[in-house]
Amino acid sequence: MTKLRKILTVFALAFSLFSVPAWAISMDDAKAKGLIGEQVNGYLGYVKSPSSSVRAMVEAINNKRRAAYNKGAKNAGVERNVFEIRMGQRLQDRVPPGQYIQLQNGNWQRK
């Protein structure tokens, strides 16, 4: 009985390791907590100096974004930087009040 319980505990622990989400913190959580925000260039940036998990999450998302922007720019027939500038505008427009956007001068502003 106790042995079974031990085995079950070990299994539960093992499963809990695997069930941890891909990122210790989600993008939405980090945005809501004011850790990250939208830059003018269409990519996420750090409002505060990031922990390693926030950094990993942001880098992975920005890489995915870059690939998406490449595709979008190609479809629209423009350079990627043109696409990024417009994307930055669009994404910053969508940022809800209370979250951060980075201004042209590099300062962060709470919307």
Q: What are the residues binding another protein (CB under 8 A)?
A: 27, 61, 64-65, 68-69, 72-73, 75-78, 82-83, 86-87, 90-91, 94
The two tokens of residue 95 are 């940022």
Query: What's the min distance (Å) between Cβ of 33 and another protein?
Result: 18
102: enclosing H helix or E strand: strand 100-102
Of 9 and 63, nearer to another protein (C-beta) is 63
Distance CA(42)–CA(87), nearest Å, equals 5
Helix axes 80-94, 52-76, angle to 10 degrees: 120
Q: Beta strands 108-110 and 36-38: pairing type?
A: unpaired
* Minimum separation from the CB atom of position 18 to another protein (A): 20
Q: Which is nearer to another protein, 77 or 97 (CB)?
A: 77
- Distance in Å, CB of 16 to another protein, minimum: 23
